[in-house]
Chains A and B, each alone.
Chain A
Amino acid sequence: MSEDDERQQSPPSDLEFVSNKARNCNATGSGSGHPEFQSTYPDQVLENVLENVLHFLTSRRDRNAASLVCKSWYRVEALTRSELFIGNCYAVSPGRATARFTRVKALHLKGKPRFADFNLMPPDWGAHFNPWALAMAKAYPWLEKVHLKRMSVTDDDLATLAELFLGFKELVLVCCDGFGTSGLAIFVSKCRQLKVLDLIESEVSDDETDWISCFPEGESNLESLIFDCVECHINFEALDRLVARSPSLKKLKLNRYVSIGQLYRLMVRAPQLTHLGTGSFSPSDIAGQGDQEPDYVAAFAACRSLVCLSGFREIIPDYLPAIYPVCANLTSLNFSYANITAEQLKPIISKCHKLQTFWVLDSICDEGLQAVAATCKDLRELRVFPVDPREDNDGPVSEVGLQAISEGCRKLQSILYFCQRMTNAAVIAMSKNCPDLVVFRLCIMGRHRPDPVTGEPMDDGFGAIVMNCKKLTRLAVSGLLTDKAFDYIGRHGKLVRTLSVAFAGDSDMALKYVLEGCPQLQKLEIRDSPFGDAALRSGLHHYYNMRFLWMSSCRLTRHGCQEIARAMPRLVVEVIRSADEEEMDDVVGTLYMYRSLEGPRTDAPKFVTIL
């Protein structure tokens, strides 16, 4: 394959020689009699040393920097990189990646852009894992770990992983789809060394296969089994037996088809758990009235190592007190599927002094948030989701809750807050009280909503965030916003890497401010905002430094996007049509563009036009 402009070429024998050297510490360099090496022997020793040193470098940013030092460092870094992260599966081909990095043990791949989660992209757009699976089967038969996000994975791919990688240990699928329980069945039955199977927010089709029964008999190496997103009944007896023969199991997250009675039995089997997803947290329908209820409190009390609790998918709040014994140790609590009130929350949260991560529904109201602020002084991450995600309701949480959190939780680093009303004052207060904020995502659900107290746009609030939160790298804005807000972001958001914009701004200037002002910008996702071709042009100097740009329902035209495509050959410019659009419309529905070494992809569906 031709990689002329991307790699300084070294003959393949060079690579082999170096790797032999590394394995064989006593090698004297007399190996193949290759003339080049006899004259550069000291350099080989240096490379050997370098290789041993670079093994300790784990951060991929450090490794990227190291690989740019010189040819020799590039080569050695490529040999020693064991964990390969690819942020956009279309930025580089499997072939190119496997050619450069020859000793990879773990692969981390991301596919679709985030807005695909919100039905803004037709299904079958792409991000297929299959070509990667096949390439890795040839290049890395020793592969142990695969972590995928927003990729399309088929049952066949799962079979490939289990059959062709004998030492495979860890599979993590986040927001993936395309496979079902039959794929899971094949995977678990053949993957004998499996330690981790984490299915997180993925769509798993119900093929009516009892996959839990397919885990091989005998002691299992399982350390983590997460399947709370799997929307099918499971064979509980098989699960019970599996947990019983998994002495290393630390993380177990059940789906909503597991009743609280069944949860009890599993907890008794596995008191060593550190992470527990409780399943439905309500009794099954069949439970009789007179049946003796198990001692749930005792079961929780026995789990002395429990630090992360989630689930509560169909919670009956009467059972909540069962978790009191673990509250004091909890660092992470996810109530985001539990429709509970402030009164129900208070006795729990008042015990959670060590809590660092808290996800919750707005059913707890501002009052519940005040209770959180009063106790959780160590809180780092807060997410407040809406019970009723529609635009025109009176929301149960507001600026009052945000203000309280900002005053009580000074160490806050990350917040996602859905609400119906918010004031600039509260946002400004948070910007001053929580200087460690790295992630600030505020979603005022009513589009174009101004500050309800002053009637002003929300410019000043977000302005304060970018000015005062010096570590901010991720920002999502909402509410009524003029170009001024974006001027602030461009001026002060110097570390911002991810920006999400919806229904905001007045003119092209807004986008210009951001593209010209934010040098660290990597991911920009915009919808329904009045930005046109001129604004798009203002980012030409920066697009090669970005992972992607998404713009849907803006004011782009086809020939404007074409201009960008012509000016930047290494950019893939995709125009995605929705069902009711004609192919030759000049107005662009959705633009998704990203840098890539490969040029236009060959698997694009009919509704995607690559300019």
Chain B
Amino acid sequence: MVFEKDLNLDATELRLGLPGSSEESLRISNKRALPDMNDDSGVAAAKKCDQETAPPTKAQVVGWPPIRSYRKNSLQTKKTEAETGGMYVKVSMDGAPYLRKIDLKVYKGYPELFKALEDMFKFKVGKYSEREGYNGSEFVPTYEDKDGDWMLVGDVPWEMFINACKRLRIVRGSEARGLGCVV
């Protein structure tokens, strides 16, 4: 419809969540989070209800009953990582002794992902251009896609990337030359 943009249906849509948050950004506190228990968005509503009316509301309250989340999660039936909805990929960096693991679903886009990688491995991603890749950066993020090819991170749209990415590897700038952008 021509008018969809003007109506701004997204902003007026009724859903649980603070304004500005999108459905994807559930706070994932650990691998086996219970979305309805740990969901931040229910809290603000629940807190306000609580102080106005004495009888218990149906909304879940943060930290009540006072059971540590480790215990709560341990009592769930065994879930595989896939069931919890996380998209975990291994991240390695040339020269770093240990692997890390990150959940791609937590990030909304490339800038956030890069910031997280920079924090984790203490390096700078540098500027990306379509023609020259990450020219001038000491370290360059690459990923292995479903076909087993190694690609530069950033060359395809975000949604496509998180579905295709199997693992990440941060390589030295000199080695990244020659990694094509395959569309």
Contact = CB atoms under 8 A, between A and B. Distances in A.
Contacts of B135: none
Contacts of A127: none
Interface stretch (A99-107, A199-207, A402-410): A199-207
B32 to A, nearest CB: 9
Contact of A119 (B38, B58, B71, B90): B38
A552 to B, nearest CB: 9
A386 B101 contact: no
Interface in B21-64: 29-31, 38, 40, 44, 47, 50-51, 54-56, 58, 60-64
Nearest to A336: B71
Interface in A478-510: 500, 502-503
A448 B54 contact: yes
Contacts of A73: none
B62 A120 contact: yes
Contact of B72 (A389, A449, A502, A527): A389
Contacts of B62: 118-120
Given A314-B78, A448-B55, A119 B99 contact: no
A182 B38 contact: no
A118 B66 contact: yes
Nearest to A181: B98
Given A391-B65, A443-B65, A580-B44, A209 B98 contact: yes
Contacts of A118: 62-64, 66-69
Contacts of A385: 67, 71
Nearest to A447: B56
Contacts of B72: 389
A361 B97 CA distance: 42
Nearest to B40: A579
Contacts of A313: 74
B87 to A, nearest CB: 16
Given A392-B56, A553-B47, A386 B90 contact: no
Contacts of A142: none
A391 B56 contact: yes
A203 B72 CA distance: 14
Main secondary structure of the interface of A (DSSP, over half): loop
A229 B70 contact: yes
B100 interface: yes
A446 B65 CA distance: 8
Nearest to A441: B66
Contacts of A528: 50-51, 61
A117 B72 CA distance: 12
B99 A208 contact: yes
B22 to A, nearest CB: 16
A448 B56 contact: yes
Contacts, number: 91
Contact of B67 (A389, A391, A392, A448): A389
Interface string B82-125: 00000000100000011111000000000000000000000000
Contacts of B58: 392
B16 interface: no
A601 B110 CA distance: 35
Which of under 10, 10 to 19, 20 to 34, or 35 or more describes the interface residues of A? 35 or more
A445 interface: yes
A323 interface: no
Contacts of A120: 62-63
Nearest to A528: B50
B74 A386 contact: no
Contact of B101 (A117, A206, A418, A580): A206
Given A118-B63, A118-B66, A418-B65, A446 B56 contact: yes
Contacts of B74: 256, 313, 337
A140 interface: no
Nearest to A201: B70
Contacts of A182: 97-98
B179 interface: no
A443 B31 contact: no
A436 interface: no
A231 interface: yes
A418 B47 CA distance: 22
A310 interface: no
Contact of A386 (B18, B38, B51, B67): B67
A187 B51 CA distance: 48
A387 interface: yes
Interface in A163-189: 175, 182
Interface in A368-414: 385-387, 389-392
A175 B69 CA distance: 11
B56 A443 contact: no
A208 B101 contact: yes
Contacts of A433: none
A37 interface: no
Contacts of A418: 65, 67
Contacts of A206: 101
A441 B60 CA distance: 22
Nearest to A446: B56
B40 A447 contact: no
B75 interface: yes
Contacts of B55: 448
A208 B65 contact: no
Interface of A: 115, 117-120, 175, 182, 201, 203, 206-209, 229, 231, 256, 313-314, 336-337, 339, 361, 385-387, 389-392, 418, 443, 445-449, 500, 502-503, 527-528, 553, 579-580
10 contacts: A175-B68, A207-B99, A339-B75, A391-B64, A392-B56, A443-B66, A445-B65, A447-B50, A447-B56, A502-B64
Q: Which 6 pairs from chain A and chain B are nearest by CB?
A: A118-B63, A182-B98, A445-B65, A208-B99, A120-B63, A447-B56
Given A527-B63, A528-B61, A579-B40, 20 more contacts: A115-B66, A119-B63, A119-B69, A182-B97, A207-B101, A208-B98, A208-B99, A231-B31, A313-B74, A337-B75, A339-B75, A361-B75, A387-B75, A389-B65, A391-B64, A391-B65, A443-B66, A447-B50, A448-B54, A448-B55
Interface of B: 18, 29-31, 38, 40, 44, 47, 50-51, 54-56, 58, 60-72, 74-75, 78, 90, 97-101
